[in-house]
Structure formats: structure tokens, C-alpha cells
């Protein structure tokens, strides 16, 4: 779902709204994240892996297909579904902050219901704060940033930065 400036405005708006749904509803994010990790799956495989009732699984799949977040890979039955790539950058109204919404962020939101640390972090800092923390976490894994650099950039204590990372 990566979008560039040559896309029609309607597509960009639809993509933004579908991403907003994923960030607001952890169960939808969980289904999307599963497909992003596993590659593709049938509704039955999603039901088994995510412990979803049949009606719920079909509702979620249909919502995500309608939103353009996932798509069927075949018309044959049973259909297999795959996650579309999401790489959406949002700039704050004041132009000073930029957030990139990626499958990693959606996966973290999906874990909100089962991971108390993520839930608490989102409650305290919002989705934007989580996006920022994940960016630093990825950079730390790559060896391009330390907790001290993060602390300086975000004006927090080095201890807080280490805990976040």
C-alpha cells in the first residue's frame, strides 16, 4: 500500500482510512500482521491461527479487502489472502514531525491486547509515540543509534530511552 504522488487522491485517502482502521482496532491489525508475517492464508487458516469464529474471520477479511489492506491471490476456492505492503508517511500539521506507518507499527498495535507494555506505552504516548519508539528500535538494531542518542533527540532520560528500546 505504498503510495507516491502519482496516485489518485481517492486511493491515498482510502489507504489512509484503511491504515487508521488498523491502528484503531487491534483485532484487524492482528489479522493484517499475521498475513504480513506468514505470506498468505485462507480464512480457515486465519481462524485457526488467530482463534477467530468463522463469522468474525469473514467480517474482518471482508473489511480489510474493502479497505485495500489485503487482497485475494486467486479466485479459486478457498481463496488465499495476502497483505498489501503498507508504507505511509504522515506529516504533522506544523510540519515538524513525520511518522511512517509500516507493518511493524501495525504488528505492535496488534499486540496491544496481549502485551501490557505496548498497551501502557500507547496509553501514555499514543500511536505517534509508539511509531517514534519503533523507529529508534529499528535503528538501534541496525547499530545506527544508541539509547543515549535517542534520549537526547527526544529529550528524555537515558534510562527511559533504554526501557523503551
How much is the pLDDT for 14? 67
The percentage of the chain sitting over the pLDDT mark of 70, rounded to a whole number, equals 90
Length of the chain: 165
What is this structure's pTM? 0.72
Residue ranges and CATH numbers for the domains of the chain are 9-83 (1.10.10.10), 88-164 (no CATH)
Cα radius of gyration rounded to whole Å, the chain: 17
The percentage of the chain sitting over the pLDDT mark of 90, rounded to a whole number, equals 32
Q: Is the pLDDT of residue 2 over 50?
A: no
How much is the pLDDT for 7? 43
How much is the pLDDT for 45? 97
pLDDT digits (tens, 9 = 90+) for 77-109: 999 999 988 777 777 777 777 777 888 888 888
Burial class (CB in 10 A: 0-12, 13-18, 19+), 130: buried
How much is the pLDDT for 12? 62
pLDDT digits (tens, 9 = 90+) for 39-81: 999 999 999 999 999 999 999 999 999 888 899 998 899 999 9
Query: Is residue 50 a contact partner of residue 34, using CB atoms and an 8 Å limit?
Result: yes
Query: Is residue 37 a contact partner of residue 108, using CB atoms and an 8 Å limit?
Result: no
DSSP helix/strand/coil, 4: coil
Mean pLDDT for all residues in the chain = 84
End-to-end CA distance of the chain: 27
30 alpha-carbon distance from chain centroid? 9
Amino acid at each position: 500500500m505504498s503510495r507516491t504522488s502519482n496516485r489518485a487522491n481517492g486511493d491515498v485517502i482510502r489507504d489512509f482510512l484503511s491504515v487508521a482502521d488498523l491502528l484503531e482496532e487491534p483485532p484487524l491489525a492482528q489479522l493484517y500482521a499475521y498475513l504480513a508475517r506468514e505470506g498468505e492464508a485462507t480464512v480457515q487458516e486465519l481462524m485457526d491461527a488467530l482463534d477467530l469464529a468463522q463469522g468474525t474471520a469473514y467480517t474482518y477479511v471482508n473489511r480489510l479487502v474493502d479497505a485495500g489492506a489485503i487482497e485475494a491471490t486467486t479466485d479459486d476456492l478457498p481463496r488465499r489472502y495476502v497483505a498489501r505492503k503498507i508504507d505511509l508517511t504522515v506529516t504533522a500539521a506544523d510540519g515538524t514531525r513525520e511518522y511512517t506507518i509500516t507493518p511493524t507499527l501495525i504488528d505492535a498495535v496488534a499486540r496491544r491486547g496481549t502485551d501490557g507494555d505496548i498497551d501502557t506505552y500507547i496509553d501514555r504516548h499514543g500511536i505517534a509515540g509508539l511509531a517514534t519508539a519503533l523507529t529508534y528500535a529499528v535503528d538501534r538494531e541496525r547499530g545506527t543509534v544508541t539509547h543515549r542518542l535517542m534520549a537526547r533527540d527526544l529529550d528524555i532520560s537515558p534510562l527511559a530511552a533504554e526501557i523503551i528500546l
